[in-house]
Amino acid sequence: MYNSSMLADYIEQLYDTFRDAVCVTDARGVVVLVNRRHSELTGIPKADILGKRVQDMVQNGIFDIVLNARVVNSGEKVASVQHLYNGRILLLDGYPIKNAAGEVVYVVTIIRDITVLSELREEVTAQKELLETFQALNSDAAMPDAVQYPRVLQSQAMQRIYGEAADIAGTDAMVLLLGETGTGKDVMARHIHHLSRRAEAPFIKVDCGSIPENLIETELFGYVPGSFSGASKNGKAGLVEAANGGTLFLDEVGELPMPMQTRLLRVLQDWEVLRVGATVPRKVDVRVIAATNKDLEKEMERGAFRSDLYYRLKVAVLTLPPLRKRKADILPLAQGFLTYYGRRYRKKARLSEEVEHILRGYAWPGNVRELENLIQGLIVTCKGGCIQAADLAGIRPEAPAPEAEGGRARLPSIEGRSLKSIMKEMEAQVLEAGLRRYGSIGELARHFQMDRSTIFRKVRHMEGATRPRRGKGKPRERSNGDERA
End-to-end CA distance of the chain: 125
Sign, CA dihedral 425-431-436-440, equals negative
Element (H, E) at 13: helix 11-16
State mean pLDDT over 161-171: 92
- pLDDT value of residue 108: 93
- Residue 189: which pLDDT band, with cuts at 50, 70 and 90? very high
- pLDDT value of residue 140: 43
How crowded is the C-beta side of 129, counted as CA atoms within 13 Å?
27
- Residue 478: which pLDDT band, with cuts at 50, 70 and 90? very low
User: Which CATH code for domain 8-113?
Assistant: 3.30.450.20
**Range list of β-strands (E), 50-188:** 78-83, 89-98, 104-113, 175-178
If we measure between CA atoms, which residue out of 103, 94, 126 comes closest to residue 24?
A: 94
State mean pLDDT over 256-268: 92
If we measure between CA atoms, which residue out of 219, 256, 223, 257 comes closest to residue 240?
A: 219
Q: Is the pLDDT of residue 468 over 60?
A: no
Which of 14-18, 64-68, 120-124, 140-144 shows the highest mean pLDDT? Answer: 14-18
CA 337 to chain centre: 26
**Minimum mean pLDDT range among 28-37, 348-357, 427-436:** 427-436
CA 377 to chain centre: 28
Pair type for strands 78-83 and 89-98: antiparallel
- The CA distance from 128 to 355, in Å, is 52
If we measure between CA atoms, which residue out of 309, 298, 314, 327 comes closest to residue 178?
A: 314
Architecture field, domain 411-466:
Orthogonal Bundle (1.10)
Contact 378, 342 (CB under 8 A): no
- pLDDT value of residue 409: 52
Sign, CA dihedral 337-340-346-348, equals positive
User: Which CATH code for domain 323-391?
Assistant: 1.10.8.60
Across the chain, mean pLDDT equals: 81
Q: Is the pLDDT of residue 3 over 90?
A: no
Report helix, strand or coil for 319. Answer: strand
How crowded is the C-beta side of 375, counted as CA atoms within 13 Å?
29
Q: Report the length, in residues, of the chain.
A: 485
- The CA distance from 17 to 35, in Å, is 8
User: What percent of the chain has a predicted confidence (pLDDT) above 70?
Assistant: 79
Q: Is the pLDDT of residue 118 over 80?
A: no
- Domain positions in the chain are 8-113, 122-140+149-319, 323-391, 411-466
User: Which CATH code for domain 122-140+149-319?
Assistant: 3.40.50.300
- Residue 24: which pLDDT band, with cuts at 50, 70 and 90? very high
Contact 354, 361 (CB under 8 A): no
- pLDDT value of residue 40: 84
Report helix, strand or coil for 205. Answer: strand
